[in-house]
Amino acid sequence: MIIIDDNWCFIHVPKTSGTNFTLCFPNNRIVKYTANELWDQFWEKKSSESFINIREKINVVKHAPLSFWQKQHIVKHHKIFTIVRNPYTRLLSFFNEFKRDLNLSHLTLSEFISNSDISQQLEKIPYGIFSLKVNQLDFFISMNNNICLDKFYKMEDELEQVEQFFNINDINLHKHNSFKYDKNYKNIFTDKIISWVQDNYKRDFDYFNYNLEPFWYKYDK
């Protein structure tokens, strides 16, 4: 999470190009709250789970949802915004990172979403930030149980608008994260996985106006 110009609070949903976005700003424009001193507050119960060992503490805390920052009295008057991603490609990106970090080269996407051991490990991370059950929208549920999100941009085709709005158009953020169609999508996403994604992330499809139909269908017609 970063606060920009003491006005906007960027909540960093995992796997949505948030890291590249935060790197666009000079230090005098932002305040970062990802330091290790927040670790104990974030991880309320000490744990030695092996999954956490593959990530730096800072990389976990930076994805904390809005409610965490409100509890720390860090987010107060700020407007909330974020970058979101198509649920299909976000899941695939998360899967590829997990497989790479744990050296599970033979793991399939189907196994990733159905393996109870994997699910249990991911769900032990506080606030469900890496849980496969959590929607992107869940990151914006306030302490009062309301959705607090003033503005969002889609990673696929709206990053240029982000650059313009925050006056960082010289960084070409959108060029570094432009969508590239991969013909293997139709082989990776079986009908069963597609149904799982549609059911599990229905709130994201609805709220962020993503089409339930897999986007690669239009390329294969």
Structure tokens at 10: 């960027």
What pLDDT is stored for residue 24 in this prediction? 82
The answer on pLDDT for 133 being more than 80 is: yes
Which residue has tokens 């890291």?
A: 19
With CA atoms as reference, report the closest residue to 151 among 143, 160, 161, 204.
161
What pLDDT is stored for residue 50 in this prediction? 45
Q: Which CATH number applies to 2-219? A: 3.40.50
Question: Which residues contact residue 53 at a Cβ distance below 8 angstroms, ignoring those fewer than 6 apart?
Answer: none
Q: In a 3-state reduction of DSSP, which class is residue 32? A: strand
Query: φ and ψ at 109, to 5 degrees?
Result: -65, -40
Instruction: Tell me the C-alpha distance between 123 and 3, whole Å.
Output: 27
In this prediction the pTM is 0.86
pLDDT in tens, 20-74: 888 888 888 888 765 555 666 666 655 544 444 444 455 677 889 999 899 888 8
Give me the helix-helix angle, 87-101 and 191-200, nearest 10°: 110
Question: Which residues contact residue 52 at a Cβ distance below 8 angstroms, ignoring those fewer than 6 apart?
Answer: 60, 125
What pLDDT is stored for residue 22 in this prediction? 83
Instruction: Tell me the C-alpha distance between 220 and 189, whole Å.
Output: 14
pLDDT in tens, 83-93: 999 999 999 99
Cα first-last separation, the chain: 40
- DSSP letter assigned to residue 146: -
The answer on pLDDT for 193 being more than 50 is: yes
pLDDT in tens, 78-125: 999 999 999 999 999 999 988 888 888 899 999 999 999 888 888 878
The answer on pLDDT for 221 being more than 60 is: no
pLDDT in tens, 137-181: 999 999 999 999 999 999 988 888 888 888 886 555 655 554 555
Contact 18/48 with Cβ under 8 angstroms?
Answer: no
